[in-house]
Amino acid sequence: MGQTEENHLIAKMFESNVLELIQKTSPQCPRFKRDWKPLELLTFENFCRSWSRSIVHFLDFATRFPVFNQLSTSDKRAWFISRLAPCSFLTMAYHTRVEMCEGLLFGCSNVYPLKSDRWSQVEDQYLRKLFSPITETMFSFVIYPMMNLKVTDLHYSLLKACVFFSPGIVVTSVSDKGMEIMRNEYTKHKNALMKLLLNGVENFSQQTDILFQVQDIQNTLELSHDSRNMPNICCHHVFLTILL
């Protein structure tokens, strides 16, 4: 399938709604291979393409969990919308850390530079306004802490599960039953993550530092969905229809 056909399917996907996406009854962005090498600066076109791929990546991730599939229809919709941005930004941040890139990677060979003297090279003014503060925040409170913690693939997998199962700060329309199910899963995955990170660490101050760094990472990722604290890319008019 050529890129023109892929872009056509992406456009069709954004004409659908969240439930159609979750139930896989509407066209979806093709699962083309993601490229985490920084080969070009972020543009509006490659951002749309990479964010579309992030959406179906998250869809595949979420629907692998039996507990998510067991939620009511309304709970699935609310949880999907709430967890999309935090999980997607964590994926981007982790691959940025793996590649040791001096900019936030988006997964389609595109990158937003960390250094402010290169921001002007990003032509789209909206993208500059949106991702300049996001990139700085992601590096300060997510990427650098992951480097300090020496996060491995296993740590990342558990951390992403924690972010996914976390009720966060914005999930208000999930039923009590659904919330209890997801909180139980969160507790199990968080305990497993902390046990792994604290293994062999006997110094209390080091243990506390690890706990605080993990919490800072999670709190920062939550802000990616809270437009009061950080611009919410899911609210951009191009992506609004998919969240209705």
Here the CATH number for the domain that contains residue 131 is: 1.10.565.10
Q: What is the largest CA-CA distance in the chain?
A: 56
Q: How many domains does the structure of the chain reveal?
A: 1
Ranking 5-19, 129-143, 183-197 by mean pLDDT, the lowest is 5-19
Q: Residues 177-234: pLDDT tens digits?
A: 999 999 999 999 999 999 999 999 999 999 999 999 999 999 999 987 654 444 444 4
Count of CB atoms situated within 10 Å of the CB of 72:
12
Residue 202 maps to a domain:
yes
* pLDDT of res. 227: 42
Q: Are the CB atoms for 126 and 43 separated by under 8 Å?
A: no
- What's the mean per-residue pLDDT of the chain? 90
Domain extent at residue 227: 33-48+74-232
* pLDDT of res. 14: 87
pLDDT > 70? residue 240:
no
Residue 88 maps to a domain:
yes
Task: Tell me, rounded to whole angstroms, the distance of Cα 237 from its chain centroid.
Answer: 19
Average pLDDT over residues 233-239: 41
Residue 27 maps to a domain:
no
> pLDDT tier at 171 (50, 70, 90 boundaries)?
low
Residue 147 maps to a domain:
yes
Q: Which tokens is 137 given?
A: 């925040």
Residue 108 maps to a domain:
yes
Q: How many Å apart are CA 149 and CA 177, to the nearest integer?
A: 34
Q: Give this prediction's pTM.
A: 0.90
Q: Are the CB atoms for 198 and 190 separated by under 8 Å?
A: no
> pLDDT tier at 7 (50, 70, 90 boundaries)?
confident
Residue 238 maps to a domain:
no
* pLDDT of res. 234: 42
* pLDDT of res. 173: 84
Residue 222 maps to a domain:
yes
pLDDT > 90? residue 4:
no
> pLDDT tier at 237 (50, 70, 90 boundaries)?
very low
Residue 133 maps to a domain:
yes
